Amino acid sequence: MLTAMLGRTANNVYWMARYVERAENLARLLASTYHMSLLPAAGSSDTSQWEAPLSLAGDRADFLKRYSEITPGTVLAYMALDPENSSSIRSCLRLARENARATRPELTTEVWEGINQTYLEMESMSYSKMVDQGFREFFDWVKERSHLFRGAVYGTMRRGHAFTFSRLGTFIERADNTARFLALKWELLAPSGRPLAAEDYYRWGALLRAFSAFKAYREVYSGIIEPRRVAELLVLRRDMPRSLFACSAETVDILRNLRSEAACTRVAEQIHERLQRNRIDGILRSGLPRFLNGFVVRNNELHGMIGQEFMLVL
């Protein structure tokens, strides 16, 4: 079924998908932070929650050098639009397009034109424009472009190596982002075991929405929001597309199809087995952030091994 492709090209396709996914998740994080900052309880002077996106996908020192203080406006400008911040949404979309361009012949017209169009629109975006059209609209636009990208990949690409490595990039990146995002928010929201107050519901609701999981929560648990269940949903549920379990299951499938005997496939299976073995209460007992950070490290090792196995990255 699969025919070989250039190792470098596989690497490009993989990173193309990773950058699109990264841009989407960053938009989700910023949207959720923005949303929470509008909540009555947040208080207009409370900027601590804007530190979170910075610590997740930015360079604090670089930020402080070029922006005088942490305000919603400066963080948004830095994280969404700053071309000098290599982790900004703009940079991610530019890098996605650069990788796509470097492997143009492997992509269908739909995939390429979608990415190219996203890049062109992003390039014409400015802070004042973002304010005019509304921040939420901007974040929605980023998500839509990412959906369009995945849809175009899924709906038009031959099930060959380019398709496969693009999917692999999506799931490796998503797993990483979900884990890091959740670890961060978990510490921020710091569930203490006390009964949740009204504003807590808003916050946990906003967190679920950031993962497009609010509706799913209601369907699965049909009750009030409990942090423990939020964690279970996003870590261990196999039917939640952004959960660690779902991402690692996809990764294992893809790698088994590619080369079942490869060392990286073995590692992917181990990561997945660990998720299968665990129950949420056990994870919470030893600390969710600790568990998630461990996952990020192993996921990143897996990334490196995939590169060595298929992409001949010297």
Partner 1 sequence: MKLGSAFDEMNGNRDGIRGAYRAYEEWLRGTPIELLIERHQQADLIFRRLGITFSVYGSEEGVERLIPFDIIPRILDPEEWRIVGSGVCQRVRAINAFLDDIYHEQHILKAGRIPAPLVLNNPSFRPEVLGLDLPRRTYVQVAGVDVVRVSANEFYVLEDNVRVPSGVSYMLENRETMMRIFPELFALQSVAPVNHYPELLLRTLRSTTPPGVSDPTVVVLTPGHFNSAYFEHAFLAMQMGVELVEGQDLFVEDDTVFMRTTEGPRRVDVIYRRIDDDFIDPLAFDAGSLLGVPGLLSVVRNGRVALANAIGTGIADDKAIYCFVPDMIDFYLGEKPILNNVPTYRCSIDDDRAYVLDHLEELVVKEVGGSGGYGMLVGPMSTAEDRYTFRQKIDAEPDNFIAQPTLNLSTCPTLVDGKIAPRHVDLRPYVLTGETTQVVPGGLTRVALREGSLVVNSSQGGGTKDTWVLEC
Residues engaged in binding partner 1 (CB under 8 A) = 4-10, 98, 101-105, 109, 112-113, 116-117, 120, 161, 165, 258, 310-312
Residue number, 38 or 120, with CB nearest to partner 1: 120
Nearer to partner 1, 88 or 178 (CB): 88
How many angstroms separate the CA atoms of 52 and 222, rounded?
30
Q: Which is nearer to partner 1, 8 or 285 (CB)?
A: 8
Task: Output 123 or 144, the one with its CB closest to partner 1.
Answer: 123
For residue 124, count CB atoms less than 10 angstroms from its CB and return exposed for 0-12, middle for 13-18, buried for 19 or more. Answer: exposed
Look up residue 218 and give its amino acid.
R
Contact 166, 12 (CB under 8 A): no
The CB-of-269 to partner 1 minimum distance in angstroms stands at 20
Q: How many whole angstroms separate alpha carbon 302 and alpha carbon 257?
A: 16
> Is the CB of residue 15 less than 8 Å from the CB of residue 310?
no
- Give CA–CA dist 170/146, Å, rounded: 10
Instruction: Supply the minimum distance, in Å, between the C-beta of residue 165 and partner 1.
Output: 8
- Report, in Å, the least distance between residue 105 CB and partner 1: 4
Q: What are phi and psi of 94, to 5 degrees?
A: -65, -45
Min. distance of Cβ 120 from partner 1 in angstroms? 7
Residues 62, 65, 68, 69: is their CA dihedral positive or negative? positive
Question: CA–CA separation, 175 vs 299, rounded Å?
Answer: 8
C-beta of 113 vs 273, nearer to partner 1 = 113
The residue (of 96 and 179) whose beta carbon lies closer to partner 1 is: 96
CB of 8 to partner 1, least distance (A): 5
Q: How far is the CB of 11 from partner 1 (least distance, A)?
A: 10
